[in-house]
Amino acid sequence: MSNLILLFLCLFLGIFLRKAKLFPENGHSALNSFVVNISLSSLSLYYIPKIAMNFQVLFPVAVQWLNILLAIPFFVLIGRKLKWSKGMIGAVIMGAGLGNSSFIGIPVIHALYGESGMKTVMLVDQPGGFVALFTVGIAVANYFSGSKSSASQMVLKIVKYPPFIAFTIAVLLNVFSFRIPTDLDQVFEKLGATTVPLALVSVGSQLRWQKLNSETKPLILALSFKLLFFPLIIFLLYFFVFNQRGEMIEISFLEAGMAPMITAGIIANTHHLHPKLTNLIIGIGIPISFVTLAFWYFVMHYFI
C-alpha cells in the first residue's frame, strides 16, 4: 500500500509544484537527466548482475520490439487510408510504438511486485525499449521527418549512452559471476531508489491538457493501440500461444500496457513530427494508462 501511496503522491506533487510555480518551467529536464543517466544506470548495476539468465528473459526484452514493429505497419496502413500527413503518421508511431517502461513502469511494477520486479523492468527497459528507440525509433523519426542519420551515428549514440554502458557492464558482471562489493552494491541500490519519486514528480510536472481539433481521431487510435490492442496481443501470445507463467511474464505483460514513452515523444518533437499530437498522446496517455493498467491487472489475475 505504501508503494501505491508514494506513486500517486509524487505524481500529484509534480502537478502541484508546476501549478504553484514552485517548479522551474523546464525543471523536469534536470530531473529526467538525473533519472536516466544516474538512477537507471544504478538500477542496472544493482539488479542485472543478480538475474538468473534463461530462455524466459527473452519475453521481457521482446515486448518493446514487438510494440514498435507492429505499430509501424498498423499506422502506415491506417494513415494512408485516412490521408494523414507523413508527420502525423510518424508522431502516432512514436507515441503508440514504445512504452514508458521506466518513468511509469518502475513505480507501477515496484508498487505491485516490490524489489523482485525491478530485474524484469530493467530487461524491458534497457535491451528492450532503449535499444529499440535508438535504432528503429530513430529510423522512423528520420524517415517521416525527411531527415537523415547514418547507421554509424545511431550506433555511436547507443554506445555513448550512460544507461547502455551501465547495462553492458552489468551483463558482463552477470556472465562472469562477479560479485560487486557489498558497500558499492548498496550505493547502487540507494541511487536506484531515487528513480521512483523523481520520475513521478517529473511526469506530474509535464502533464498538460490541450484543446483537440484534427488530432482527435489519431489520438484515439494511438492510445487504443498502445493501451488496449497491443496488451491484448501480448496477453494472448505470452499466456496462451507460448503458455508462459510466472512473475517475469506477468510483469512483461503489464509493461506492454504502459503509457507512451516520454523519451520517444521528445525525439518525435525534435524531428518536428506533429508536436501537438505527440504531446497529447503523452499527456493524455499517462493518466489514462493507470485506469487501463488496473483493468489488465485484474484481467490477468482473473484468467491466469
**81-117 pLDDT tens trace:** 999 999 999 999 999 999 988 778 888 898 899 888 9
21-32 average pLDDT score: 81
Tens digits of per-residue pLDDT, 184-220?
A: 999 998 998 887 788 778 877 876 666 667 778 999 9
Is residue 132 within 8 A of residue 65, CB to CB? The reply is: yes
**With 90 as the cut, is the pLDDT of residue 15 above it?**
no
Structure confidence at residue 238 (pLDDT): 97
Confidence of residue 11 (pLDDT cuts 50, 70, 90): confident
Instruction: Record the pTM.
Output: 0.82
**With 60 as the cut, is the pLDDT of residue 250 above it?**
yes
Q: What are phi and psi of 10, to 5 degrees?
A: -65, -35
**With 90 as the cut, is the pLDDT of residue 267 above it?**
no
Q: 10 Å Cβ neighbour count for 258?
A: 31
| Neighbouring residues of 67: CB distance < 8 A, sequence distance ≥ 6 | 97, 98, 99, 132, 226, 230, 256
**With 70 as the cut, is the pLDDT of residue 4 above it?**
no
Domain boundaries defined on the chain: 2-20+29-205+216-303
For domain 2-20+29-205+216-303, the question of CATH label 1.20.1530 is answered with yes
Is residue 75 within 8 A of residue 93, CB to CB? The reply is: yes
More confident residue, 180 or 10: 180
Is residue 11 within 8 A of residue 200, CB to CB? The reply is: yes
Structure confidence at residue 2 (pLDDT): 66
Is residue 260 helix, strand or coil?
Answer: strand
212-230 average pLDDT score: 91
Query: With pLDDT > 90 as the criterion, what percentage of the chain qualifies?
Result: 40
Structure confidence at residue 101 (pLDDT): 86
Structure confidence at residue 89 (pLDDT): 96
Tens digits of per-residue pLDDT, 38-69?
A: 988 898 898 888 887 788 899 999 999 999 99
In whole angstroms, give the CA distance from residue 278 to residue 215: 10
Round the average pLDDT of the chain to a whole number and report it: 87
In order of 84, 274, 285, the CA distances from 280 in angstroms are 17, 10, 8
Is residue 169 within 8 A of residue 45, CB to CB? The reply is: yes
